[in-house]
Chain A
Amino acid sequence: MTTAAAATGTSATLRHVRYVVAENPVTFFAFGLFTAFVLLAVFGPLIAPYDPLASNTDRALQPPSADHWFGTDQLGRDILSRIVVATRLDFGIAISAVALSFAIGAALGSAAGYYGGWTDRIVGRIADTIMAFPLFVLAMGIVAAMGNTVFNIVLATAIINLPFYIRVARAEVNVRRNAGFVEAARLSGNSDLRILAVHLFPNILPPMMVQISLNMGWAILNAAGLSFIGLGVRPPTPEWGIMVAEGATYIISGEWWVALFPGAVLMLAVFCFNLLGDGLRDMIDPRRRT
């Protein structure tokens, strides 16, 4: 940022961000929570007080205590440690799934919006076909058919989120494809691909970012739901959905902590992403605020 115009632009943006943060402390809180989760995901295995896989049958199903803050499960494993270590896997699944649908959705949607015609019709038909399924059911079908692995969970989550990205990218590119700056770029001899990548792509980024953060929570929820019904992640791997599923048997007989803590953390993570997404949308596109 060397030019004066760019500098005022940045400070204006900063002022706007500061204004939005002051107006919306909840977003700021969500951002703090998000940072905490990311730190847990990165340093989780170092912080965890116990080995998440070490079972100790003498101490099975102990309620929360000073030794085990969140209690122990049916094999005597420390629940806190398992939750902390699971952060990386849950976030990993959600982030890679969202990144995948962002990349593919942006490419397909931009092409559909830019070229129109048959490209548009085929891409639109793909999106419609995916949307013709109840999304979680489609994800179940995909994982069941392609094999029960973590990679397929990522793939299934990416596929069911694809239509949202395609639609945003298509709409944003479509309104700009004959804009002045695109015409200028075309006349100065840029190829279609270069116009899409260099001139149009930066313009679709802000709405896509909002879509990403609104989508993250849903991606985590979806992945945890799939492992709750026994797809994807396999025990004894610590993962929030599986931990809730394992605790489900005990909650009816009063051992609430086995399912409660992983479920609550999962809820907190999804809540954090939804708040963040809402806040980000307010910053980028205040008109869509509801």
Chain B
Amino acid sequence: MLKLILKRLAGAVPNLIGVVIVTFLLTRALPGDPAAFFAGPAATEEAIAEIRTSLGLDQPLLVQFGYYVRDLFRGDLGNSLSTGQPVITELVTRLPASLELTLAGLLFAAAVAIPLGIMAATRPGSWIDHLCRIVTTAGVSLPTFFTGLLLAYVFYYLLGWSPAPIGRLDPLFSSPENVTGFYLVDSLIARDLELFRAALGQLLLPAVTLGLFVMAPLARMTRASMLGVLSSDFIRTARASGLAPGKVLYGYAFRNALLPVVTTLGMVFSFLLGSNVLVEKVFAWPGIGSYAIEALVSSDYAPVQGFVLAMATLYVLLNLAIDIAYGLIDPRVQLEA
């Protein structure tokens, strides 16, 4: 087992190196002079020259890459021009907001998509199968930013059920004491149910928006792999031996059908993290995505670069976790390793 985990860890290293190289190249691709870019529009000639030396831009490319990696290991991602704060602290304080939103979106999507896929597979051709097909085709066609706006319009403006889309918490409340950074968890730890409800109300619409978009691949995969498993020999044997339908479906079929679903989680996370940015903008969610967008608007490049690097690292780590989980679920993978 340890061997498997080590092997997967080693497999993630080239990806991380690739990510670092690409983000490094992206800084060098800045239009014009990167030093002038980092110095900002108001900088004098001397300031630009100073920044060029301090960034090591007068050195050969390989040496520059060395500096870049060294700074990364120190946790130095540069400073934001507009706030003057180090990018890394800003990313770290904002990350829990993004993670909470992403995980809530994933939970919602899985809670709807997996039962839908199973029901569609057990009753092919029924209305639920058609519903599943509509959801899977329509789901990937939805521009997340547009669904978000639409939901906000209906549930905030028309019905008034949901609070104003202005971030994680209504200004009337003060945020709970920081333990995990997840407001839902922290408010429970503080035993403040009212705060929990307020945070949940704010989270609901953005999470549903995200979930709607990633529901499609999950439902499609669940249905397809469930169909495959249900027509296999061991299910026929189980049925012929007279096992109860529920036992066959959930005890045998579902557990085997889950494996391909776990592998699609990688793609699902790519969707989730990407559309997270758009949803954060729509709902003024104070995560790392809206931080990057604010920086983009003011041509403040260091935060954007830090954001891309953080997202990519997070994604590589998530894929690693999925790989390891897969090995734990499926004993055959361990045999191969």
Residues of A within 8 A of B (CB): 125, 128-129, 132-138, 140-142, 144-147, 217-218, 221, 224-225, 228-231, 241, 244-245, 247-248, 251-254, 256, 259-260, 263-264, 266-267, 270-271, 274-275, 278, 290
Is B47 part of the contact surface with A, judged by Cβ < 8 Å? Answer: no
B141 touches A138 (CB 8 A): no
Q: Which of B108-116, B143-151, B174-182, B328-336 contacts its partner?
A: B143-151
B143 touches A270 (CB 8 A): yes
B223 touches A290 (CB 8 A): yes
User: CA–CA, A248 to B141, complex, Å?
Assistant: 19
Q: A142-B26, A146-B29, A244-B149 are in contact. Are A134 and B141 (CB under 8 A)?
A: no
Closest to A228 in B: B145
A136 touches B18 (CB 8 A): no
User: Would you mind naming 21 contact pairs between A and B with Cβ atoms under 8 Å apart?
Assistant: A135-B270, A136-B273, A136-B275, A136-B278, A137-B311, A140-B304, A141-B26, A141-B308, A145-B301, A225-B145, A225-B275, A225-B278, A241-B143, A241-B145, A244-B146, A252-B165, A267-B146, A270-B140, A270-B142, A271-B141, A275-B137
Binary interface profile of B, 149-182, with partner A (CB < 8 Å = 1, else 0)?
A: 1101100110000001100000000000000000
Binary interface profile of B, 196-227, with partner A (CB < 8 Å = 1, else 0)?
A: 00000000000000000000000010011000
- List the B side residues contacting A244 at CB < 8 Å: 143, 145-146, 149
- List the B side residues contacting A263 at CB < 8 Å: 143, 146, 149-150
User: CA–CA, A25 to B190, complex, Å?
Assistant: 57
Nearest chain B CB to A86's CB is how many angstroms away? 14
Is B27 part of the contact surface with A, judged by Cβ < 8 Å? Answer: yes
Choose one: B138, B149, B223; the contact of A251 (CB below 8 Å): B149
User: CA–CA, A142 to B224, complex, Å?
Assistant: 35
Classify chain B's interface size. 35 or more
User: CA–CA, A253 to B26, complex, Å?
Assistant: 39
Q: Which of B87-95, B250-258, B291-299 contacts its partner?
A: B291-299
Main secondary structure of the interface of A (DSSP, over half): helix
B140 touches A132 (CB 8 A): no
B157 touches A254 (CB 8 A): yes
Q: A128-B15, A145-B30 are in contact. Are A274 and B140 (CB under 8 A)?
A: yes
Is B65 part of the contact surface with A, judged by Cβ < 8 Å? Answer: no
B305 touches A135 (CB 8 A): no
A132 touches B18 (CB 8 A): yes
Choose one: A245, A253, A271; the contact of B137 (CB below 8 Å): A271
Binary interface profile of B, 240-278, with partner A (CB < 8 Å = 1, else 0)?
A: 000000000000000000000000000001111111011
Is B315 part of the contact surface with A, judged by Cβ < 8 Å? Answer: yes
- List the A side residues contacting B152 at CB < 8 Å: 251-252
Is B69 part of the contact surface with A, judged by Cβ < 8 Å? Answer: no
A267 touches B141 (CB 8 A): yes
Nearest chain A CB to B319's CB is how many angstroms away? 8
B26 touches A267 (CB 8 A): no
Closest to B213 in A: A221
Choose one: B146, B282, B296; the contact of A230 (CB below 8 Å): B296
Nearest chain A CB to B129's CB is how many angstroms away? 12
User: CA–CA, A274 to B138, complex, Å?
Assistant: 9
CB neighbors of A among B1-60 (8 A) = 14-16, 18-19, 21-23, 26-27, 29-31
- List the B side residues contacting A217 at CB < 8 Å: 140-141
B26 touches A225 (CB 8 A): no
Binary interface profile of B, 282-322, with partner A (CB < 8 Å = 1, else 0)?
A: 10000000001100110001001101100110011001000
- Known: A147-B31, A278-B137; 8 extra A-B contacts, CB below 8 A, are A129-B22, A218-B140, A225-B143, A244-B145, A256-B153, A266-B146, A267-B143, A290-B220
Closest to B27 in A: A145
A134 touches B273 (CB 8 A): yes
- List the A side residues contacting B316 at CB < 8 Å: 132
Choose one: A132, A147, A218, A229; the contact of B277 (CB below 8 Å): A229
A137 touches B274 (CB 8 A): yes
- List the B side residues contacting A133 at CB < 8 Å: 19, 22, 308, 311-312, 315
A132 touches B145 (CB 8 A): no
Closest to B32 in A: A147
User: CA–CA, A230 to B304, complex, Å?
Assistant: 13
A146 touches B31 (CB 8 A): yes
A141 touches B23 (CB 8 A): yes
- List the B side residues contacting A125 at CB < 8 Å: 14, 18
Scoring A145, A230, A290 by chain B CB atoms within 10 A of each residue's CB, the highest score goes to A145
Choose one: A221, A248, A270, A290; the contact of B149 (CB below 8 Å): A248
- List the B side residues contacting A146 at CB < 8 Å: 29, 31
Q: A129-B19, A225-B143, A266-B146 are in contact. Are A134 and B269 (CB under 8 A)?
A: yes
